[in-house]
Amino acid sequence: MKEPKVIAEIGCNHKGDMDIAKELVQMAKVFCKADIVKFQKRSNKELLTEEQYNAPHPNPMHSYGQTYGEHREYLEFDIEQHRELKAYCDQIGIEYSTSVWDLTSAKEMASIEPKLLKIPSACNNNFAMLEWLALNYKGEIHVSTGMTTKQEIDEIVTFFQKFDRNKDLVIYSCTSGYPVPFEDIALLEINNLKEKYGHLVKEIGFSGHHLGIAVDIAAYTLGATYIERHYTLDRTWKGTDHSASLEPDGLRRLCRDLKAVSKALTYKEKDILDIEMAQRDKLKYRK
């Protein structure tokens, strides 16, 4: 099996503060030992209707503005800030990425040439955006499949095949809920994705919004080689994603445990391993 890669999804958990964003990046690299950090990019006036933009936040206690649009703009980094974050990631040695929610954001983020871009479950049917990425972006394209039918997943994979980009595609098993109860995670969907698309796409991933880290270990053993989890410095912070995120020690333990499981997922090289010989000589029943 391929070694797992852990994506620490910062998303908007930086609270619109570059210093917090960089602290999250540094913590993910130095303390947690994650492989990738991921942010989000939205062009809010393109993504939202005027009514949605000007409506109050549905959960006012988590809002950073008087309207939902103001809230989203407060949390949004511009293209130059994302360049700065990517440069900081390059400097300390962790991979930068971002989710893109609309065509404008996809074009902006592609311009700074990250190794991978992520398509959220909510946008995986935005074929205008997918087509632009297929034609113009040379990196990996990762797609989550929460709230997506099996027929729609077929259409996504077929679409990238049409552009000969399916081998740059990573498909994620995902349930869109925050947090997701264990009975709704549906881990065995990873088996379905592997069986149906494993030979067509680059890899299979798992994007989790559950509590704890046990499920992620199981996802890896089922064949998901990218493990993505929301990540924050403090789960009690203002904002709707924090409560379904891992704090640094949780992310650290996840990275540690996945690496341990990766080392353990082998066959014995020979019947009696070297480490067993002393015990065999000492303890094995002699006929």
Report the alpha-carbon distance of residue 217 to residue 240 in Å, rounded.
25
Domain ranges of the chain: 5-283
Locus of tokens 């081998």: 167
Our CA angle for 115, 194, 187, nearest 5°, is 95
Scored b (16 or more CB within 10 A) or e, 204-216 reads: bbbbbbbeebebb
Model pTM greater than 0.75? yes
Let me know if domain 5-283 sits in CATH 3.30.920.30. no
Cα-Cα-Cα-Cα dihedral of 63, 67, 70, 72, to 10°?
60
Q: What is the H or E stretch that residue 99 is in?
A: strand 95-100
Please list the pLDDT of the chain residue by residue as tens digits (287 residues). Answer: 799 999 999 999 999 999 999 999 999 999 999 999 999 999 999 999 999 999 999 888 889 999 999 999 999 999 999 999 999 999 999 999 999 999 999 999 999 999 999 999 999 999 999 999 999 999 999 999 999 999 999 999 999 999 999 999 999 999 998 889 999 999 999 999 999 999 999 999 999 999 999 999 999 999 999 999 999 999 999 888 888 899 999 999 999 999 999 999 999 999 999 999 999 999 988 88
